[in-house]
Amino acid sequence: MEGDTGLKKTFHIGELSKLLGIPKSTLRYWEKAGLITSPRNTENNYRKYYPSTIYTISDLAHYRCLRMSLQDMRKLPQLSPHELADSLIELDHNL
């Protein structure tokens, strides 16, 4: 599904896994944990991911590399930019 820009409108889980180098099982786990959402295709019930989700998943992968806990990742949407920066600085110091 491509729009006028030539970019895909949605990605299947396998495509996203290959694109980002993140196992499909991790994407499913993050969805189950409420960190990401993936609406289902009504025709085949496959997960579909929008390009905006790619940014969220990339951020989560980065936070995981910093050893951020799943519990802390769940809190991220409620943080102000300043609080987020402080959290990332603290994680960086703990590495």
Instruction: Specify the CATH number for the domain of residue 28.
Output: 1.10.1660.10
Q: What is this structure's pTM?
A: 0.78
- Determine, yes or no, domain membership for 39: yes
- Determine, yes or no, domain membership for 28: yes
- Determine, yes or no, domain membership for 2: no
- Determine, yes or no, domain membership for 7: no
Calpha distance 94→49 (Å, rounded): 33
Which three-class secondary structure state does DSSP give residue 49?
strand
Half-sphere exposure of 39 (CA within 13 A, CB side): 8
Q: Given the structure tokens 């694109």, which residue do they identify?
A: 19
- Write out the residue range of the structural domain in which residue 52 sits: 13-94
DSSP state of 26: H
Tell me the pLDDT of the chain (95 aa) as tens digits.
444 556 678 899 999 999 999 999 999 999 999 999 989 988 999 999 998 899 999 999 999 988 889 999 999 889 899 998 888 888 888 77
- Determine, yes or no, domain membership for 4: no
Query: What pLDDT does 1 receive?
Result: 47
- Specify the number of domains making up the chain: 1
